[in-house]
A and B are shown apart, each in its own frame.
Chain A
C-alpha cells in the first residue's frame, strides 16, 4: 500500500446527505443498517404491544378481554412478527451491516447493491404481511399441519410474506460471508478479527444454508392449501409430522441466528468496559462455529412428543446436550474477562452483564428440555414459553439493547442520557424477570401454552406475570424515548468515548462516507487492553 497521505478529504459524515431518495436508494452499509434498525425496532414495538394485550387477557382465567379466536390470532401475530420481522433479521441486519465493514477495515460490504436489494426484499415481505392481516392466521408462528392446511384464515399470504423475508436473510448472509473473506484490511488475519465478526460469520452460514429449507417448507404448505398436494395430509398418504421435521430443520438453526450475534456483542462490550483482553479468544471464536455446526443436528428436540421413534428421540437428545458445551464455554470466558479488570458499569455494560445472568438461566433451563424424561412433562407448557423468552429477551434483546447503547455514539454521533438509560435498564431487568420467571413454575405445574383461557389454580402466577409485563413495557418505553431524545438533543459524541481499540472507534463519530480515509494496516488484535507498549529501541 503506497504511503501517500494526501489527506485533503474534508470529513463528511455518512448521515449528512438528506432526502428520501438518499436513503431509499442508498448502497452505504451504514445507512442500510439504519433502515433495518428502524424497521425491526418498529416491529419489535408492535409485536411487543400485542404481547401486552395477550398478557392483559391472561390476567383472568376467563376470556373476558378478547375471544379465544382473537387470542389465537394475537399469539400468531406476536410470534410471526417477532421471529421473522424482528429477531431473525435482528442484530445481523442492523448492527452487522453497520459494523462488519468498519470492524474489518473495509469501505463497504462486497456487494452493496445486493445489500440494498436485501432490504427492499425485506420491505416487500412486510407489505405482503400487511395484506395477510386482512384475514389473520390463527395457526401459531409454527404453522403446524393439519391445522394450518385447513383453517379458514389467509395462511398463504402470511407464509408468502415469510418466504419473501427468507430471501432477505439469505442474501444478507451471503454478502457478509463474502465480505469477511475478501474485504479484510491488510494485516487483519482471521485471528485478529473482533469476535463480533466471528459471530457474524457463523450466523451468516446459518442464514445461508438453513433458510432455504423453511422456504421449501412454506412452499409445500402453500401448495397443500392451493393445489391440494398431500405431503402433510394423512388422508392423501402424507404425514403431518413431516411438516414439523422440515420446519424445525430451519427453525432450530434459526434460534442460533438469533443468539450468536448477541453473544458477539457481549464479547465486544465486556473487554471495553473492563479494560481487559477477552479471555479465551480462540475458544469463543471457534465455539461460535461449533454451535452453528451442531445446530443443524438437533432439530427434533422440538418434537420429542410428536410421535417420533424412541431411537430418533434418543439421538437428538444426545446431540442437544452437546450443543450446550460450546455455549457454556462462552459464559465462563466472559466472566474470566472481568477478573482483575477496571470495570465501568455503563448502561451498555449493564446490558452485557444482564445478558450473562439471564442467558445462563435460559441456557440451564434448556438442559431440562434436552433431557427426554423431563421434556415429556415440560413440552408445550409455560416452561417452554419461559425458556424461549429467557434466551430470546434475556439473551438476544439484552444484546440488542446493549449494542444500541454501546455503538450509539459511533452510529449517530450523539450521546444519550446515561442516568435515564440505567433506570430503564433496571426496569427492564426487573420487569422481565417478574414476567417470565413465574412461568417456569406454571409450566412445571402443568399449565399448557397457547391457552386463551386457563384453570383458576394458575391465576396468581399468571397475573403476577402480567404485572411484570407492565414494568417491562414501561422500561422499554423509557429506554426508547431516551434514545430517541438523544438523537435530537443529545451532546455531540466524541470519536472514542470508551477507549475501545476496535477499528470502528478509530474513525470519527459518525463515520465518514467510505469509512476510512486510508485503509488501515492492522498489526494486532483489538483486545490489547493493558498491553504494555514496546519501548522503542
Chain B
C-alpha cells in the first residue's frame, strides 16, 4: 500500500519531512502511553479485595518534567511546520502565472499565452508555477495531493498557491471544499510534461494521447470528452436530471424554450448550446452552464454529438 502519493513537486518532500517527524514523535508518545497503560492495568490488577494501596497524590518534579518536555517538542514542531509553510506561501519571482477559476462543478485554466483548458492543467517540469485562483460562485478548494498543495478559491477575491512540478506524469486534482451536489465530481488532472512535450502541447497539437485520440471513432471520443471535460458533472446518461438535461434521448428531442418558442435538439442546436449556453435555454433549467468556446474544438463537439446519438 502506498502511504502517501509520490512526491511530485519541490514542496512535497519538505511537507513529507514535517509529516514524518510528527509521525515519529507521535508513535513514540503513543507507544509510551499505551504500554504504560496496559502494563499498569495488568501489573496492578486487583488480586485481593482488601489489598492496600499507597496514598500517592502527586509529584511536582514529574509534573514539571511532563509539562516542559512536551512544551519544548511542541514549540519545535510549530517552528518546523511554520518554516516549510513560509516557503509554501512564497512564490519565486520567476514563477509562471496560470489562472484557475472554480465553478460548480469544474475547473477552467487560463494560461499566460491565452490558452484555456477545462479540468486538465498542463505544466512544464521543473518550472515554478503560481496558480492565481478565484471562484465564480461558492467556495471551492484546489487540491493536488501529489504536490501537497491546497488553497481555497473564493468568490470576489484572488487567492494563490505555487509549486514546481518535479516528476513527469499525471496527477489528481480534487475539490477540497464542499460546494454542493457535484462536489465529488469536480475532479481534474494536472499533466506534467517535459519541456519538449510541453512545447508541442502549447502549439495546440495533442500530446501523449494525440495519436491515440485522433484515431478514436467519434462516439468513443465523445464519451471520453463527456467524462474528462466536466459534462458528467451536470448531465447524466441514464435519464435522471442532475443539473442539466440528461444526454439520454437528447439528440433529436423537441420541446419548449424559456421564451416560449419551440426547439429541436439537432446538431446545430447542440453546438450552439455548447458555445452559447444561455442563448436558447430549455424551460425549467437554471442558467448555470459555462461556455466551452475555446475549450472544445469543432471536432470535439462533433464527437460529443456522435456520442449523444448513441444514448437513445
Q: Which of B51, B157, B183 touches A451 (beta carbons < 8 Å)?
A: B183
Contacts of A140 in B (CB 8 A): 178
Contacts of B269 in A (CB 8 A): none
A365 to B44, CA, bound (A): 30
Report whether B53 and A146 are in contact in the complex, using a CB–CB cutoff of 8 Å: no
A187 at the interface (CB under 8 A from B): no
A339 to B55, CA, bound (A): 11
Report whether A332 and B66 are in contact in the complex, using a CB–CB cutoff of 8 Å: yes
Q: Which of B14, B36, B44 touches A342 (beta carbons < 8 Å)?
A: B44
Q: Which of A166-174, A234-242, A397-405 contacts B (4 or more CB under 8 A)?
A: A234-242
Task: Give chain A nearest CB distance to B231 CB in angstroms.
Answer: 16
Report whether B18 and A341 are in contact in the complex, using a CB–CB cutoff of 8 Å: no
B297 at the interface (CB under 8 A from A): no
Report whether A305 and B151 are in contact in the complex, using a CB–CB cutoff of 8 Å: yes
Task: Give chain A nearest CB distance to B120 CB in angstroms.
Answer: 16
Q: Which of A240, A280, A441 touches B58 (beta carbons < 8 Å)?
A: A280
What's the tally of chain A residues with a CB closer than 8 Å to chain B? 92
Report whether B74 and A530 are in contact in the complex, using a CB–CB cutoff of 8 Å: no
B154 at the interface (CB under 8 A from A): yes
Residues of chain A in range 488-513 having any CB-CB distance to chain B below 8 Å: none
Report whether A353 and B58 are in contact in the complex, using a CB–CB cutoff of 8 Å: no
B219 at the interface (CB under 8 A from A): no
Task: Give chain A nearest CB distance to B175 CB in angstroms.
Answer: 7
Q: Which of B133-141, B250-258, B275-283 contacts A (4 or more CB under 8 A)?
A: B133-141
Q: Is the interface of B mostly helix, strand, loop or mixed?
A: mixed
A379 at the interface (CB under 8 A from B): yes
B93 at the interface (CB under 8 A from A): no
A138 at the interface (CB under 8 A from B): yes
A127 at the interface (CB under 8 A from B): no
Q: Which of A8-16, A48-56, A257-265, A442-450 contacts B (4 or more CB under 8 A)?
A: A442-450
Report whether B176 and A529 are in contact in the complex, using a CB–CB cutoff of 8 Å: no
CB nearest to A75 among chain B residues: B178
Contacts of B200 in A (CB 8 A): none
CB nearest to B179 among chain A residues: A147
B212 at the interface (CB under 8 A from A): no
B203 at the interface (CB under 8 A from A): no
Report whether A321 and B176 are in contact in the complex, using a CB–CB cutoff of 8 Å: no
Task: Give chain B nearest CB distance to A330 CB in angstroms.
Answer: 11
Report whether B3 and A441 are in contact in the complex, using a CB–CB cutoff of 8 Å: yes
Report whether A345 and B84 are in contact in the complex, using a CB–CB cutoff of 8 Å: no
Residues of chain A in range 359-397 having any CB-CB distance to chain B below 8 Å: 360-361, 364-365, 367-368, 370-377, 379-381
Contacts of A151 in B (CB 8 A): 180
Task: Give chain B nearest CB distance to A73 CB in angstroms.
Answer: 10
Q: Which of A274, A306, A328, A531 touches B44 (beta carbons < 8 Å)?
A: A274
B37 at the interface (CB under 8 A from A): yes
B223 at the interface (CB under 8 A from A): no
Task: Give chain A nearest CB distance to B71 CB in angstroms.
Answer: 5
Q: Which of A35-43, A117-125, A217-225, A452-460 contacts B (4 or more CB under 8 A)?
A: A452-460
Task: Give chain A nearest CB distance to B74 CB in angstroms.
Answer: 4
A361 to B52, CA, bound (A): 33
Contacts of A321 in B (CB 8 A): 74-75, 77-78
Report whether A305 and B181 are in contact in the complex, using a CB–CB cutoff of 8 Å: no
Contacts of A342 in B (CB 8 A): 44, 46-47, 51-53
Contacts of B52 in A (CB 8 A): 342, 530
Contacts of B187 in A (CB 8 A): 455
Residues of chain A in range 321-342 having any CB-CB distance to chain B below 8 Å: 321-322, 324-325, 328-329, 331-333, 335-336, 338-342
B168 at the interface (CB under 8 A from A): no
Contacts of A446 in B (CB 8 A): 5, 143, 145-146, 172, 174
A328 to B57, CA, bound (A): 18
B15-37 vs A, CB cutoff 8 Å, 1 = contact: the mask equals 10011001001100110011011
A130-172 vs B, CB cutoff 8 Å, 1 = contact: the mask equals 0000000010100011110011000000000000000000000
A530 to B3, CA, bound (A): 49
B140-180 vs A, CB cutoff 8 Å, 1 = contact: the mask equals 01010110111110111101000000000000101111111
Contacts of B33 in A (CB 8 A): 331, 335, 356-357, 360
Task: Give chain B nearest CB distance to A248 CB in angstroms.
Answer: 14
Report whether A373 and B53 are in contact in the complex, using a CB–CB cutoff of 8 Å: no
A333 to B66, CA, bound (A): 9
Task: Give chain A nearest CB distance to B62 CB in angstroms.
Answer: 7
Contacts of A444 in B (CB 8 A): 3-4, 19
Could you list 25 examples of A-B contacts with CB < 8 Å? A138-B180, A234-B156, A275-B53, A307-B157, A310-B85, A313-B85, A314-B85, A321-B75, A325-B67, A325-B70, A342-B52, A344-B46, A345-B41, A353-B37, A364-B29, A373-B80, A373-B82, A373-B83, A376-B88, A377-B148, A381-B176, A446-B146, A449-B176, A450-B178, A455-B187
Question: Which B residues are closer than 8 A to A by beta carbons?
Answer: 1-5, 14-15, 18-19, 22, 25-26, 29-30, 33-34, 36-37, 40-41, 44-47, 51-59, 62-63, 66-67, 70-71, 74-75, 77-78, 80-86, 88-89, 137-139, 141, 143, 145-146, 148-152, 154-157, 159, 172, 174-185, 187, 240
In the complex, besides A69-B181, A325-B70, A373-B81, 17 extra interface pairs with C-beta distance below 8 angstroms are A144-B177, A146-B137, A234-B156, A276-B55, A278-B57, A307-B151, A310-B85, A317-B78, A317-B81, A321-B75, A324-B74, A328-B70, A338-B36, A377-B148, A379-B176, A446-B174, A448-B175
The 6 closest A-B pairs by CB, nearest first: A234-B156, A446-B145, A371-B81, A372-B85, A373-B84, A451-B184
Question: Which A residues are closer than 8 A to B by beta carbons?
Answer: 67-69, 72, 138, 140, 144-147, 150-151, 234-235, 239-241, 274-283, 305-307, 310, 313-314, 317-318, 321-322, 324-325, 328-329, 331-333, 335-336, 338-345, 353, 356-357, 360-361, 364-365, 367-368, 370-377, 379-381, 441, 444-446, 448-455, 527-532
